[in-house]
A and B are shown apart, each in its own frame.
Chain A
């Protein structure tokens, strides 16, 4: 270990400006000149922070040799930890939350037709009414109300049709043609006297649930 040699008091006084350097002996005068030169040099170099020096060291490091195989590069990119800073304005945060809530609360059924639940089924109504201006189905499933289930004849060929999601089970119904003529479905297969004493019959439809028989059997077990 190198011991630090004590400085000559005369040189110290000259460095402190308390003695004229010209009065120093020759060897001390040379030491004085070297020390002052070093002091002047330090004053001209800009101060360098620790952080700046560390960053300079990082920049000077040689980059790692990258694997040329794309898959391995992707895996390395994905697995390497990275700091992510996310800045959100409160207004945008609220808008994002509202958007997510809307997506979660949106109905999931497709828009191209009705979807029946486990205790519902899809009933299709078809009738041949050439020349009719309108045909609708009125029955126990819509409280015998007019105007809720109209059949369509987009080809103008007299074949009118519609479909509806109905609760599983029996439903009595009739077609109403041109808003005034009550007609049973000729091929309904099931009919029941309407009970009003005129001998008229309602068509009877038994809607099967969407739940499969396998589901029913499984549930029963």
Chain B
């Protein structure tokens, strides 16, 4: 199986993506009836110094899925609102500093995953100058596995204070999930306590260079 996978490695033509401005990328892809409204939402994001790429992606996604025009526009509008909310959160976490678009986009993505804004703001403040994406996704992973949001944030702050940064914080969330699933069973609180005791030596969840997916069934 591994050999077959190796032989079937395919390169995605990434060079084509992100080429040109939003208008040229949307033309021919977005239904003409939705295009004026979407163009104006993207223009509003640009005017407010918000990242426009998440909105372009949302418009392309909805168009590819054949989402009806009204829902497509609403989806893009919802993305703009999340970006605005994210900018407020980042501004509070990084007062008197220019707000990086990448931070705003990462916070908007965390909000879209359902992470509580207060948790997001707390995690932003532990390392304002680091990319917040990994720690926010780690927190969202823990919350998705029904860990208490505040306890999950406590664990990630502790991990950061023990020297774990960036993508390694995702391993903390994976380790907590593994502890939860151990034979005999652990409560969520026990799993968090167990991982906290391991810090900073949580196992790496995967090789750094690959994301291996297991065979999926069903569908």
Q: With a CB–CB cut-off of 8 A, which chain B residues contact A146? A: 64
Q: Is the CB of A195 within 8 A of B112?
A: yes
Task: Tell me whether A145 is interfacial, beta carbon within 8 Å.
Answer: yes
Q: Is the CB of B62 within 8 A of A196?
A: yes
Q: With a CB–CB cut-off of 8 A, which chain A residues contact B88? A: none
Q: With a CB–CB cut-off of 8 A, which chain B residues contact A163? A: 5, 8-10
Chain A: CB-nearest residue to B217 = A128
How many pairs, one residue from A and one from B, have CB atoms within 8 Å of each other in the complex? 187
Chain B: CB-nearest residue to A139 = B61
Task: Tell me whether A28 is interfacial, beta carbon within 8 Å.
Answer: no
Task: Tell me whether B133 is interfacial, beta carbon within 8 Å.
Answer: yes
Bin the interface of chain B by size.
35 or more
Q: Is the CB of A206 within 8 A of B211?
A: yes
Q: Which of B118-155 contact A (CB under 8 A)?
A: 133-134, 137, 140-141, 144
Q: Which of A141, A191, A195 contacts B75 (CB 8 A)?
A: A195
Task: Tell me whether B51 is interfacial, beta carbon within 8 Å.
Answer: no
Q: Which of B7, B12, B134 contacts A148 (CB 8 A)?
A: B12
| A107 shortest CB reach to chain B, Å | 12
Q: Is the CB of B64 within 8 A of A145?
A: yes
Q: With a CB–CB cut-off of 8 A, which chain A residues contact B208? A: 121, 208-213
Q: Which of A113, A202, A212, A213 contacts B6 (CB 8 A)?
A: A113
Q: Is the CB of B204 within 8 A of A149?
A: no
Q: Looking at B11, B58, B63, which has the most chain A CB atoms within 10 Å of its CB? A: B11
Q: Is the CB of B4 within 8 A of A216?
A: no
Beyond A194-B75, A195-B58, 17 additional contacts (C-beta under 8 Å) are A113-B6, A121-B211, A123-B210, A124-B5, A126-B215, A140-B57, A140-B61, A142-B17, A144-B60, A164-B10, A166-B14, A170-B133, A192-B113, A202-B61, A208-B206, A208-B207, A213-B204
Binding site for A on B (CB under 8 A): 1, 4-14, 16-18, 25, 57-58, 60-65, 67, 71-72, 74-75, 78-79, 109, 112-114, 133-134, 137, 140-141, 144, 165-168, 170, 204, 206-219
Binding site for B on A (CB under 8 A): 112-114, 116, 121-129, 138, 140-146, 148-150, 152, 154-155, 159, 161-170, 172, 175, 177, 182-183, 185-198, 200, 202, 204-213, 216, 220
Those 6 A-B pairs whose CB atoms lie nearest each other, nearest first: A113-B9, A210-B209, A144-B64, A164-B12, A163-B9, A114-B11
